[in-house]
Amino acid sequence: MKMKTYIARRLGFALFSLVGLSILVFYLARVIPGDPVMMMVDPRTPPEVIEELRHALGLDKPLYLQYFFWLEDVFRGDLGFSVYTRRSVTTDVLEYLPISLELVILAALIEVVGAFILGVLAGSHAYKWPDNLVRISSYIGISIPSFVWAIILQLIFAWQLSLFPTSGLLSSNIPSPPRVTGFTSLDSLIAGRFDAFVDVIWHATLPAFALCIGGMTQDARMIRAGMVENKDKEYIAMATSQGLPARLVMFKYLLKPSIIPAVTVMGMDVAAMLGNAFLVEMVFMWPGFSRHAINAMYRSDLNTIVATVMVIGIIFAIVNLITDIIVAYLDPRIRLMERGE
């Protein structure tokens, strides 16, 4: 019951933030330079056609009315018309979002597993060579931005070693599986097309690594720091002195409190990946949501800008909520604090 209250409060905060975000983004998208209709048509298009398009897009109405109509449409599942792709924004979101999500999910998996392995390795060998190695790797991992990683990985593994494809979602000779969920890997499995499934994972590997190296190494450092800090705590000494097996002390009493800060950061990292993936998607020609969002911004595609920011905001809120729940589960003090105890 207490946990339910905690979740409900978090959900309330998230909804409040999203409404605020929608107003802010809606306004900002409309004050950035670049007339979307002029960007859409040839400069020699007759003025009456331009006015007609402006009217059809509702751009001739006051800003507050535009927001009201947009909100009304959103509740009907219509995110508006894209002047960039010339079709419904909802269609675009449904097409591009799963493609980015499958990349982000793979990157998140690599980040979590990699961070635990590296963090525990460094924490359990503090001040020894594995720790130093992880530390140096972490500095490199954190300091190099993901798009540089993308180019480095592409040059080494795609060009020099030819172990991975240079770009794209599928090899040019692999036909796309029939669209069911929009997740190409999942659709491949549904269609029994294992060749396509293997091909998608093969194509996603380098961009996923490029996307998660920074976060993974940062999280590893945090886990390591937590372990080193907690190792000398009295409850660990007590557990060890009571003769509990080292493995139990390690995973139950030392690791659990040590990973809490890292879990929070991991959650943020994973949520931010979707928005930050655009350069990686561009380098690897991954036809995803982030690349689409940036292209739409260049074209002053108002409805797409608002929709993409809102989708990223919603995903951020969901991941944040999940992270809060995990942290609350791991750390009873947080639950108690929420209850004012």
Partner 1 sequence: MASKIDMAIAALLIIAIIVPSGIGAYMIGKLSSIEDALKPPAAPTKLLRVGFAWPTFIDPAVGSDYSSSTAFTNLYDPLLFPTTTGDVKPWVATNWTVSTDGLTWTFTLNDSIKFHSGRPLKADDVLYSMERLITIGEGYAYLFSPYVNLTASTAIDDHTVQFKLDKTFGPFLITLARLYILDKEEVTAHIKEGDFAKEWLLTNDAGSGPYKVKEVVLEDHVYMERFNDYWAEMKPNSPDEIRMLALAVPTTERTMLLKKELEISSQWLPEEVLAALKKAGLVTGSHVGGDMFYFMMHCNKTPTDDIHIRKALAYAMDYETVVEEMYLDNPLAKCVVPISLAGAAELTMYRQNLTAAQEQLQQSKYYITGPADIPEIEVHWCAEVPAEERVAMLFAECAVDIGLRVKVVKTPWGSMITEMADQDLSPNIETIFVAGHYAEAGSLLESRYHSKSAATWEQNEWLLNDTIDGMIEDALSEVNVTKRYEDYAELERYLLDLCPSLFLFDHLVKYSYQPYVIWPNVLGESIPVMGYNIDGRTIEVVPPE
> Per CB under 8 A, does 35 bind partner 1?
yes
Site for partner 1 in 132-151 (CB under 8 A): 151
3-state secondary structure 182-222: CCHHHHHHHCCCHHHHHHHHHHHHHHHHHHHHHHHHHHHHH
Closest Cα to residue 201, out of 112, 102, 108, 269? Answer: 102
Are the C-beta atoms of residues 271 and 319 closer than 8 Å to each other? yes
Are the C-beta atoms of residues 220 and 135 closer than 8 Å to each other? no
Q: Select from 17, 137, 171, 230 the one that contacts partner 1 (CB under 8 A).
A: 171
Q: Select from 42, 232, 234, 341 the one that contacts partner 1 (CB under 8 A).
A: 42
CB atoms within 10 A of CB 48: 8
> Per CB under 8 A, does 338 bind partner 1?
no
**Contact region for partner 1 (CB under 8 A) — 26-34, 211-219, 312-320, 330-338?**
26-34
> Per CB under 8 A, does 45 bind partner 1?
yes
Residue in the block written with tokens 């007759």? 46
- How far apart are CB 1 and partner 1 at their closest, in Å? 36
**Distances 280 to 147, 165, 207 between C-alpha atoms, Å:** 5, 14, 6
Of the pair 10, 292, the CB lying nearest partner 1 is at 292
Of the pair 301, 324, the CB lying nearest partner 1 is at 301
CB atoms within 10 A of CB 302: 28
Residue in the block written with tokens 């007590």? 238
> Per CB under 8 A, does 76 bind partner 1?
no
Residue 88: φ, ψ to 5°? -65, 140
> Per CB under 8 A, does 332 bind partner 1?
no
> Per CB under 8 A, does 235 bind partner 1?
no
> Per CB under 8 A, does 121 bind partner 1?
yes
Of the pair 144, 285, the CB lying nearest partner 1 is at 285
Q: Select from 26, 70, 84, 183 the one that contacts partner 1 (CB under 8 A).
A: 84
- How far apart are CB 85 and partner 1 at their closest, in Å? 5
- How far apart are CB 185 and partner 1 at their closest, in Å? 11
> Per CB under 8 A, does 243 bind partner 1?
no
Alpha-carbon distance 243 to 275, whole Å?
Answer: 48
Residue in the block written with tokens 């036809």? 287
Residues 6+ apart with CB under 8 A from 211: 103, 104, 107, 146, 273, 276, 277, 280
CB atoms within 10 A of CB 96: 24
Of the pair 150, 312, the CB lying nearest partner 1 is at 150
- 241 burial (CB, 10 Å; 0-12 / 13-18 / 19+) is exposed
Buried b (16+ CB within 10 A) or exposed e, 14-30: beeeeeebbeebbeebb
Of the pair 225, 334, the CB lying nearest partner 1 is at 225
Alpha-carbon distance 204 to 139, whole Å?
Answer: 25
**Contact region for partner 1 (CB under 8 A) — 55-63, 70-78, 207-215, 277-285?**
277-285
**Contact region for partner 1 (CB under 8 A) — 10-18, 38-46, 70-78, 323-331?**
38-46
> Per CB under 8 A, does 230 bind partner 1?
no
> Per CB under 8 A, does 283 bind partner 1?
yes
- How far apart are CB 192 and partner 1 at their closest, in Å? 8
Q: Which residues bind partner 1 (CB under 8 A)?
A: 32-35, 38-39, 41-46, 48-49, 52, 84-87, 92, 95-96, 113, 116-117, 120-121, 124-125, 151, 154-155, 158-159, 162, 166-167, 169, 171-176, 189, 194-195, 197-199, 202, 240, 245-247, 249-251, 282-285, 287, 291-292, 295, 298-300
